[in-house]
A and B are shown apart, each in its own frame.
Chain A
Amino acid sequence: MPAPAIIQPKGLSDRLTALFWRRPRLLLGLLLVPPLFWLGVVYLGSLFSLLIQSFYSIDEFSGMVVPEFTLKTYAELFRAANLDIIIRTLLMAAAVTLGAALIAFPIAYYAARFAKGRWKAVFYLGIMLPLWSSYLVKVYAWKLILAKEGIVTWAAGITGTSSLLDAVLALPVVGGGSLSTSYIGMFLVFTYVWLPYMILPMQASLERVPTSMLEASADLGATRAQTFRTVVLPLAMPGVIAGSIFTFSLTLGDYIIPQIIGNSASFIGMAVYQLQGTAGNTPLAAAFAVVPILIMLAYLGFAKRAGAFDAL
C-alpha cells in the first residue's frame, strides 16, 4: 500500500503552519496585534488623552490644571483674539491651497499627458525630490531668498523693478518691512513647501483621463480649450480636491513657518505650541488642537463625496 500523500509535520513550525491553515483568523490576529497595539494604544490613546484635556480648565490664580469636566475652555476659543487666530489660519490655508493648485496644474498636466520616456523620469524625480527633501532646509532656503539683503531684492535691483517690490511691500495687511516679515512671504513659503503634495494626486487623476475621451472630444469638433474645460478639468477635479486635503491640513497645523517667516502674528499651530509650552495652559492648547481636527473631518467628508479618495 502506498504511503498517504501527506507530509507528516516535523517540529513546531510545521505544526503552527497547519494551525494557521485551519484557522486563518488566528494568523490574521497575530499579524495585526503588534501594529494595532502600537497605533491603537500609543497613538489613539494619546489623541484621546488630548481630547480629555480639552474639557479641563485652568485655575486662573494658581495656573494649575483643574481636572473637572467643563466647556469653559472651548468657550475661550470664541474670544476675539483666539477667533482671529483661527480665521487667519483658515484664510492662509485657503490662499495656499488656491496658489498651490494654480502652480501645480501645468506641472501635473504636462507630466501626466505629454512627458514621455526620459522626461517622464525627470518630472517624477523633479516632483519627488522636493517632496521628500528636508522641510527645514526648504524653509531655510526661503529665509535666504526673502531676506532684505537676499536674492529677490538683488534681482529687483538688476531688473529695475525695485519700485514694484516696494509697492507690493507697501500694500496694507499683506505687506511688511521685507518679504520675510510679511504675509506674502509666508504665503510663498507655504505654497512652495506643500506644492508637491498638490501635484502628485493631480497628476494621478490626470493620468487616468482616457486618451480616447480626448480623441472623441476632438473628433466632435471641440477646440483644445473646449476639451480642456469640459473634459479634462472636470475629470481632474477629484485629484485637485485630494491635493487640497494635504495643502489645507498641512497649513492648518504648521507652526514652524509662521515662527520664522512673517510678522509674528499667531496661527493655530503656533498657539498650540506656545500655550502648552511657555504658557502652560494645556487645556486651551488641546482645545485649539481640536479645531483643525474638526475642520479636517468636515473637509474629508466633503472630499469623500466628491470622489477625491479614488485619486489618492
Chain B
Amino acid sequence: MLSDRASLSLRIAAGLGLLFLHLPIALIFLYAFTTEERSYAFPPPGLTTKWFAVAWQRPDIWEAFWLSLQVAAIATALALVLGTLVSAAMSKARFFGREQISLLILLPIALPGVITGIALRTAFGEMGIPFSTLTIILGHATFCIVIVYNNAVARFRRLSGGILEASADLGANAFQTFRHVLLPNLGTALLAGGMLAFALSFDEVIVTTFTAGQQSTIPIWMLEELIRPRQRPVTNVVAMLVFAATFIPILLAYYLTRNGSDVAGSGK
C-alpha cells in the first residue's frame, strides 16, 4: 500500500538538511554580540551590544551603505522597465528568434559572475568609460532584468488574454488598458520581482569588484574585511545587518505572491 507518511530516516535526513541550511546564518546573529575582538572563539566569552554603536559611528560603513542602496534602487528601476517590456513581448507573440531572446535574458545569470564581470570590465575599458557608480549600476541592471522577467512572465502566463480584448471592446486605448487593466494585474508580480532584484543587487559582489572604481559597496567593504580583517566585531555587526537588509525584501516578495501558482523566488 502507498504510505502517506515519510519514513523516519527520510524525515531525519530532511530535517538535518534544513538545519544545515540555517544554523550558519543563526551563528551570524550570535557573533554580532560577542565580546571577543581578536578571534572567532566559540563559545563567545561574553555578550555585548557595544559593536552596534561602534559600527554606527563609522563613516566608511555609512558611505558604502548609501552607495549600495543607491545602486540597488536604480538598477532595480531599470530592470523593472526592461524586464516588463521584454516579458510583455515574449508572452504576447510567437516570433522568429524568440528562443534566442529567452536564452539571452538568462545568460547573465547562467554564466558565472566572473565572466560577466570581466566582460563588462574589458568593454568599459575599451570604450573609455571610467569606472564609477554608473558602471556598477550598468552591471547590476544586466543581471536584475532576468529576475523581473521571470516574475512578470509567470504572471502574464496566468493572465487571460480575454481581459485585454474586453478592455479594448469597451473602448480603452492601449495606454488605458495598460494603466487600468494590465498594471493592476501585474502589480504584485512586479513588486515581488523588484524586491528580489533589489536584494540580489544589494549583496552582489562578484560583478561589482570588476565594475567598481575606487568606491566600496557594502559587499565590497565586507569582502575586504574578510580578506584582511581589521575589526572583526564590526564586520560581524555589518554581516548581520546585510542579512536583515536582504531578508526583509525576500520575505515580502514571498507574501506578495504566495497565493499564485508561481511563487516569487523559485528561480534565482
Contacts and interface: CB of A to CB of B under 8 A. Distances in A.
A135 B173 contact: no
Contacts of B27: 141, 144-145, 151
Contacts of B205: 135-136, 256
A133 B83 contact: no
B25 A107 contact: no
A3 B111 CA distance: 60
Interface string A108-138: 0111011000000101111111111111111
Nearest to B209: A273
B81 interface: yes
A136 B219 contact: yes
Contacts, number: 282
Nearest to B220: A136
What size tier do the contact residues of chain B reach?
Answer: 35 or more
Interface string A196-233: 11001000100000010011001000001000000000
A17 interface: yes
Interface in B1-18: 1-7, 10-11, 13-14, 17-18
Interface string B101-140: 1001101101111111011111100100000000000100
Contact of A149 (B40, B171, B239, B250): B40
B21 A127 contact: yes
B53 interface: no
A135 B82 CA distance: 25
A255 B206 contact: yes
* Contact residues of B: prevailing secondary structure: helix
Contacts of B21: 126-127, 130, 192, 195-196
B85 interface: yes
Interface in B32-57: 39-43
A134 B218 CA distance: 11
A147 interface: yes
B173 A134 contact: no
A296 B226 contact: no
A150 interface: yes
Contact of A192 (B11, B24, B88, B126): B24
B267 interface: yes
A43 B121 CA distance: 11
Interface string A288-308: 010011001000000000000
A110 B123 contact: no
Interface stretch (B59-67, B180-188, B241-249): B241-249
A103 interface: yes
Nearest to B202: A134
B120 A35 contact: no
A268 B108 CA distance: 18
Contact of A28 (B10, B24, B93): B93
A175 B240 CA distance: 30
Interface string A34-57: 111011101111110110010000
A91 interface: no
Contact of A136 (B25, B41, B223): B223
Interface string A1-39: 000000100000110110011001101100110111011
Please indicate which of the listed interface residues B2, B101, B219 has the most CB atoms of chain A within 10 Å of its own CB.
Answer: B2
A69 interface: no
B25 A138 contact: yes
B142 interface: yes
A139 interface: yes
A265 B54 CA distance: 36
Interface stretch (A70-78, A79-87, A166-174, A246-254): A246-254
A154 B45 CA distance: 13
A124 B120 CA distance: 35
Given A137-B28, A249-B110, 13 more contacts: A27-B174, A46-B123, A50-B118, A110-B11, A126-B22, A132-B265, A132-B268, A195-B17, A215-B2, A253-B112, A253-B206, A286-B118, A289-B115
Task: Give the 7 A-B CB pairs with smallest separation, nearest first.
Answer: A253-B112, A106-B13, A110-B14, A46-B123, A17-B173, A31-B89, A134-B203
